[in-house]
C-alpha cells in the first residue's frame, strides 16, 4: 500500500516556466488537497477536491491550477512560476470530507529562481 | 471562524525533562483537533487526534494532549524528552461544519543534551 505519492521531490524552476506536481493515492479516497508550507507559517490550502470531476479553491489558489479526472490522481499545475511560489508543497488525502485520518505525501521542495 | 494559535514559535528543553507545547483554538462548532510532527526535511506525521471522545488523548512516541473546552486549549505534553523528539510540531483544528483544516504556525522543539 503506497499511500500518497508525490513527484518530484525537488525541483528548480526559472521564473515564467510552468510545471506540474503529481499526486497519486491508492486508497480510493474521495477527498484530496494541496497545501503549501512556508517558513513561520502553518500549511495553507491551495486547492482541494471532494471527488473526481470536482475541484474548489482554498486559501491561496492564485497561480495554481488543478484537475481531478480520476479518483487516484490530483495534479497541481504552476502556470507561470514566480519566486513567491518557492515553497514546500504537500498533497493530502482522506476518505471523504469528514474523514479524520489524513494522509500526506512526503512533500515537494520547489525553488523558483 | 476557526483559528489556531501556537503560543511559542520555539521551545527548548533538556533531554529527559518534560515537554509542553501550547495550542489555543477558536471554533464556533464542535472541533476536531490534531497534532502533527515534522522532522527536518521530512513529511508530516500524525501524533494524535481528538474527535469528541475522551478529552485526554494519547498519541505515538509517548505524547499526549488534553482537550479543555473551557480554556479552548489542546496542549501537547510528554513526560520525558528524547533527542529524537527534536522537530516542528503543528496544531490543527477542523470544524465538523466544513471539515477544512486550519493549521497553527508551528512550534520548533529543540532538545538540549
Residue A37 pairs with which residues in a beta bridge?
A88
**Diameter of chain B measured on Cα atoms:** 44
Q: Which residue's entry shows cell 496542549?
A: B75
Q: Whole-angstrom Cα distance, residue A17 to residue A67?
A: 19
pLDDT in tens, A53-93: 999 999 899 999 999 999 999 999 999 999 999 999 999 99
Nearest to B100 among A42, A45, A104 (CB): A45
Name chain A contacts of B51, Cβ cutoff 8 Å.
100
Give A2-53 pLDDT, tens digit per residue: 799 999 999 999 999 999 999 999 999 999 999 999 987 889 999 999 899 9
| Terminal-residue alpha carbon distance, chain A | 36
pLDDT band (50, 70, 90) for residue A97: low
Q: How far apart are CA A34 and CA A36, in angstroms?
A: 7
Q: Report chain A residues whose CB lies below 8 A from the CB of B99.
A: 97-98
Per residue in B58-68, pLDDT (tens digit) is 999 999 999 99
Cβ distance of A43 and B100 shorter than 8 Å = no
pLDDT for position B97: 61
Residues 24-53 (B) with a CB less than 8 A from some CB of A: 32, 34, 41-44, 46, 49, 51
Q: Helix count (H) and strand count (E) of chain B?
A: 0, 12
- B99–A101: do the CB atoms touch at under 8 Å? no
- List, as ranges, residues 69-88 from A with C-beta within 8 Å of B: none
The position carrying cell 504556525 is B105
Cβ distance A101 to B46 less than 8 Å, yes or no, reads yes
Query: Which residue among A41, A97, A107 sits closest to B105, beta carbon to beta carbon?
Result: A41
Q: Do A100 and B32 touch (CB under 8 A)?
A: yes
Query: Are the beta carbons of B20 and B89 closer than 8 angstroms?
Result: no
Amino acid at each position: 500500500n503506497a499511500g500518497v505519492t508525490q513527484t518530484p521531490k525537488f525541483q528548480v524552476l526559472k521564473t515564467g516556466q510552468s510545471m506540474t506536481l503529481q499526486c497519486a493515492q491508492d486508497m480510493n479516497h474521495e477527498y484530496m488537497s494541496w497545501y503549501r508550507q512556508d517558513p513561520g507559517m502553518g500549511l495553507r490550502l491551495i486547492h482541494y477536491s471532494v471527488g473526481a470531476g470536482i475541484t474548489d479553491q482554498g486559501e491561496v489558489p492564485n497561480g495554481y491550477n488543478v484537475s481531478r479526472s480520476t479518483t487516484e490522481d490530483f495534479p497541481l499545475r504552476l502556470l507561470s512560476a514566480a519566486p513567491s511560489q518557492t515553497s514546500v508543497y504537500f498533497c493530502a488525502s482522506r476518505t471523504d470530507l469528514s474523514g479524520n485520518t489524513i494522509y500526506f505525501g512526503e512533500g515537494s521542495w520547489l525553488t523558483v529562481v | 471562524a476557526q483559528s489556531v494559535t501556537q503560543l511559542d514559535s520555539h521551545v527548548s528543553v533538556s533531554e529527559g525533562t518534560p515537554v509542553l507545547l501550547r495550542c489555543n483554538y477558536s471554533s464556533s462548532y464542535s472541533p476536531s483537533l490534531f497534532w502533527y510532527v515534522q522532522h527536518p526535511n521530512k513529511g508530516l506525521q500524525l501524533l494524535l487526534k481528538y474527535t469528541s471522545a475522551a478529552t485526554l488523548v494519547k498519541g505515538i512516541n509517548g505524547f499526549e494532549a488534553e482537550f479543555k473546552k473551557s480554556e479552548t486549549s489542546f496542549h501537547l505534553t510528554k513526560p520525558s524528552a528524547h533527542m529524537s523528539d527534536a522537530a516542528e510540531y503543528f496544531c490543527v483544528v477542523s470544524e465538523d461544519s466544513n471539515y477544512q483544516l486550519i493549521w497553527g504556525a508551528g512550534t520548533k522543539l529543540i532538545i538540549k543534551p
